[in-house]
Chain A
Amino acid sequence: MLVLKGLPASPGIAIGPAVLLPGEVFSVSRQYISKQEVKSELSHIQAAIEKTFAELTECEQKVQAELGSEYANLLSTHKLILQDPVLLSSLTSKIQNEFLSAQAALFLTLQELAAPFDKIEDPFFKERRNDIYDVGKRLATNLTGDKQHFLASIHTPSLLVAHNLYPSDTINLQANKIIGFCTDVGGKTSHTALLAQSLKIPAVVGLATASKDVHAGDTLIIDGENGLLVINPDRYTLANYRKIQKDIKKTDSLLKTINHLPVITQDGHPLKLFVNYDPRTDNKDNKRLITDGLGLLRTEFIFMNTPHPPTEEEQYQIYLSVAKRFDMRPATIRLADLGGDKIPTFPLDELQQDDNPFMGCRGIRLFLKNPELLFTQLRAIVRTACEVPAQIRIMIPMVSSVEEVQHVKHAFNEVLAQFAKQGKHPVNKVALGAMIEVPSAALALDGMIGLLDFISIGTNDLIQYLVAVDRVNQEVAHMYDPCHPAVARTLNLIIQTAHKRGKEVSICGELASDSKMLPLLLGLNVDALSVTPRMYLRVKNNIRRADFEHCADLAQAALLMGSSDEIRNLIEQNNKHENP
């Protein structure tokens, strides 16, 4: 068994035999033609262009009907590339003036046109090179009349492994019995990844060596949820993935049956279930979900890939469209958690290369050193709250001391006063909350809870800081342990402290959507969970199947245990009992 780590490009789990896409045979030697042949070569290329154009139009209509205009636009772009005056003039000149064959002219032209894209650093723009090659490949196929397409020859459901896959290949995948694919290269924003998502084929990209490590016929698992490729899995892994696969398939039927039902345990204990929302990846399925509100809007993306900090107006436009989406429900906007592994591209005095970024100047620490960033974001959020009926909630990331909360609260009140002077007031009271993800904030929560309206526990960072394990470090990653007694005890302390003052506690982070850990979280009496749209119904279903009294007993037992093994054993036994 070999496991490769890549980037998750399209969610889902696919299991099956591997087929390998034959290497690119797209290289042509410099073939020269005689002067007399120029005319016929020109007409060859013209015919190929016309044929390709017709193909693309047909494909465009098909995609338009099946997937909608968002994806059909991709093919319109390809048509424009085909008609690009630079492409045409280069082809003509190479045939007419350099006496190259149509094929050689096409190959050299594509090389020349794609070369500048290799120098681009931004992966988003670099990916566009593939669109050019994609059109070129279609054109070359029509030029040589080589109709035999590899993908059309596959007859059993298989997983495709390729060094690189072009969007036009991807469009043909489903019809051709490909139930998942992975590639050596590629990024999350490639057209191929986007298409795979809409076709609902699991995909992992950026695996570097997959096409060399996999042999045709190997059994593969493509884990599009976590970006993993498992080659020749052992029995245990295979069984585990089949179970996950089954759970995922449930989602569609869940949507029909429980979407409109309340989030409540079997014995009548209600819970709020929020969604972690990202406006950049919203889709039809997400829009159909009925949720209790927005539990976490990460705002870092607004600060990335921009040469200057985003203005109040720019931020306001984004928050406004997000808040409208959640009508009168809670909409939690987290102040940007910059620093750590999220370094903005605009210059900041305080942000130097940190040797230990996760313990360095990130989150609210960075904002308090750059008050103009804090005030701009607070103004944009309060301005949104003056316009919409949503219950806007502001969340402070990386809080480690009460002074930080005091500073933000002070700034927040100042912003509210500024708006009041202009006669503007929030439609609903804007709540102020903190992420509890640093142990010091958890232990000293009693000192700051009075200043806050709610808290949210960021379990990923909290666990990482509690056990002092960097999950990226291979040497210690296995020690990152949600079952550590310190985790249950710290969660309990946070929840008890908040409840004493009547404040709501929610949990966002991966732990919230871990079905095995859910009974423990419920039993500790958390008020709300916030999970990704993809996990939403699965978590809701698990809550609706749980018994709160039983969970509370389980949590009390866990709090008395002194080792990870004991707690893990308790959770596994409980899980076996609930899901025999």
Chain B
Amino acid sequence: MIQKELEIKNRLGLHARPAALIAQTAAGFTCDISLTKDDITVNAKSIMGVMMLAAEYGSSLKLSTDGPDENAAFQAIETLFDQKFNEEF
């Protein structure tokens, strides 16, 4: 299992579009992928779960991946965070 804290760097936070990107990306892997914020843990493959976290700009989330392709899954989602979900701000 891999776990690490990630920071939200895009100014609008995890609104619908970034949440969709996370869920879509996560759905491509077989391992379990979860995001945790303030003691709430959700399935990262669920767009509704990710939106429910209401993660705003500057807050941090714990990403966990657990399963056969956990390395690749972790990297793919971490990249989304690093690239601010391809948003301008």
Interface residues of A (CB under 8 A from B): 73-74, 76-77, 80-81, 84-87, 113, 116-117, 120, 122, 124-126, 128, 131-132, 191, 279, 302, 305-308, 314, 317-318, 321
Contact = CB atoms under 8 A, between A and B. Distances in A.
A84 B58 contact: no
B48 A81 contact: yes
A81 B47 contact: yes
Contacts of B52: 116-117, 120
Given A125-B51, A125-B56, 12 more contacts: A74-B16, A80-B24, A86-B46, A86-B48, A117-B51, A124-B12, A124-B13, A128-B15, A131-B16, A305-B57, A306-B11, A306-B56
Helix, strand, loop or mixed for chain A's interface? helix
A113 B56 contact: no
Contact of A77 (B12, B20, B27, B54): B20
Contacts of B19: 77
B17 interface: yes
Contacts of A85: 27, 43, 45-46
Most buried by A among B11, B13, B46, B48: B48
Contacts of B54: 120, 122, 125-126
Interface of B: 11-13, 15-17, 19-20, 23-24, 27, 43, 45-49, 51-52, 54, 56-59, 88-89
Contacts of A307: 56-59
A317 B84 CA distance: 13
A86 B15 contact: no
A305 B89 CA distance: 14
A128 B58 contact: no
A305 B27 CA distance: 30
15 contacts: A73-B20, A77-B17, A80-B24, A81-B47, A84-B23, A84-B48, A85-B27, A86-B48, A122-B54, A124-B13, A125-B56, A128-B51, A302-B11, A307-B56, A321-B88
Given A120-B54, A124-B15, A321-B88, A87 B59 contact: no
A47 B55 CA distance: 34
A305 B16 CA distance: 17
A317 to B, nearest CB: 7
B26 to A, nearest CB: 10
A86 B43 contact: yes
A306 B8 CA distance: 11
B62 to A, nearest CB: 17
